[in-house]
């Protein structure tokens, strides 16, 4: 949410009154200025602390949230909006991390837990949005496709080894497949928001899908690419339409070499998508000279798989 300490509200309700207090005291008793400054600092700090939006997530406890809105974006994909307990509350999810969602689907004999990354962020008060593609064989995704407004799901987090911080590296390459775009877009949006405060990270994204209709959030991605010269996207389709100018088939080593940063100490390569795709990409990038990906990625790794 940017820096809550320097919000417009705090400038008008904390900093200006504090300055006026110190000036007012100084006009009458200069020797009291240090005490007035101390009092203003303490009062201002308390005001900022108590006005910071509370965080919803708990890492060790599942909590229920009600579904308040669904928006269909394709034949098998919806955006699900869940309301937080308070309209002034934030989810409390660091950029790059994800959430566990739990439910007991119909005909299931036990609770199922899956990980998802929201498409909203802590910039958004009072709700959290997930874009989820429903698969016939998918336990949680198929269950969510049947949800009605008012139904609840269970959430726990944050989780994950990736926590993005501004300028953590010079250049980030991304390979995403299908709904694997969600953690990538979370990071890209954070970088874009941080441009004004000095985030200079360059980002190149390869986004692979089967059909044109499968390209999730394409308008959002294209808008960012148009606005930000340090963000580029290259689309790859298995079944491209006539006149398609992007990649065709699978993401190949040649596509990676042409559209992503080469191996270097000050770059990272992030990947997220179906397990077979991620496994193939790990082998491909290792052959191109990137560091070998671990079975479970760590923040310091050059190649990080969500």
Give the burial class of 28: count Cβ atoms within 10 A of its Cβ; 0-12 exposed, 13-18 middle, 19 or more buried: exposed
Q: Is 169 part of the annotated catalytic residue set?
A: no
- Exactly one of 80, 164, 235, 272 is catalytic; which is it? 272
- Exactly one of 98, 143, 171, 259 is catalytic; which is it? 98
| Residue whose token pair is 């479970």 | 296
Q: Which residues contact 164 (CB under 8 A, 6 or more apart)?
A: 94, 95, 96, 187, 190, 191
Q: Is 235 part of the annotated catalytic residue set?
A: no
- Exactly one of 80, 116, 235, 290 is catalytic; which is it? 116
d(CA 252, CA 275): 16
What is the sign, positive or negative, of the torsion defined by CA atoms of 3, 7, 11, 13?
negative
Paired sense of beta strands 152-159 and 171-177, if any? unpaired
Q: Is 164 part of the annotated catalytic residue set?
A: no
Smallest Cα–Cα separation from 160: which of 117, 204, 130, 201? 117
Q: Is 272 part of the annotated catalytic residue set?
A: yes
Which tokens belong to 174? 């991304």
Residues annotated as catalytic (active site), given as ranges:
98, 116-117, 272
């Amino acid at each position: 949410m940017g820096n809550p300490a320097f919000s417009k509200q705090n400038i008008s309700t904390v900093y200006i009154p504090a300055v006026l207090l110190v000036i007012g005291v100084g006009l009458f008793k200069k020797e009291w200025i240090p005490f007035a400054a101390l009092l203003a600092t303490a009062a201002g700090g308390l005001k900022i602390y108590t006005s910071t939006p509370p965080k919803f997530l708990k890492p060790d406890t599942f909590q229920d949230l009600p579904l308040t809105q669904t928006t269909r974006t394709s034949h098998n994909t919806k955006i699900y909006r869940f309301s937080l307990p308070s309209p002034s509350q934030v989810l409390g999810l660091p950029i790059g991390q994800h959430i566990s969602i739990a439910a007991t689907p119909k005909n299931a004999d036990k609770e199922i837990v899956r990980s998802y990354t929201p498409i909203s962020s802590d910039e958004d008060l009072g709700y959290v949005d997930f874009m989820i593609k429903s698969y016939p064989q998918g336990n949680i995704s198929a269950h969510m496709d049947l949800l009605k407004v008012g139904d609840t799901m269970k959430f726990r987090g944050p989780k994950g080894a990736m926590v993005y911080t501004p300028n953590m590296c010079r250049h980030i390459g991304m390979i995403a497949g299908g709904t694997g775009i969600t953690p990538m877009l979370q990071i890209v949006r954070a970088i874009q928001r941080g441009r004004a405060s000095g985030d200079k990270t360059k980002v190149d994204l390869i986004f692979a899908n089967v059909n044109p209709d499968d390209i999730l959030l394409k308008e959002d991605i294209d808008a960012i690419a148009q606005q930000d010269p340090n963000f580029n996207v290259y689309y790859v389709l298995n079944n491209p339409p006539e006149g398609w100018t992007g990649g065709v088939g699978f993401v190949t080593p040649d596509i990676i070499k042409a559209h992503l940063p080469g191996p270097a100490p000050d770059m990272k390569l992030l990947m997220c998508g179906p397990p077979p795709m991620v496994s193939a990409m790990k082998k491909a990038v290792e052959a191109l000279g990137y560091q070998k990906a671990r079975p479970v990625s760590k923040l310091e790794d050059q190649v990080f798989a969500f």
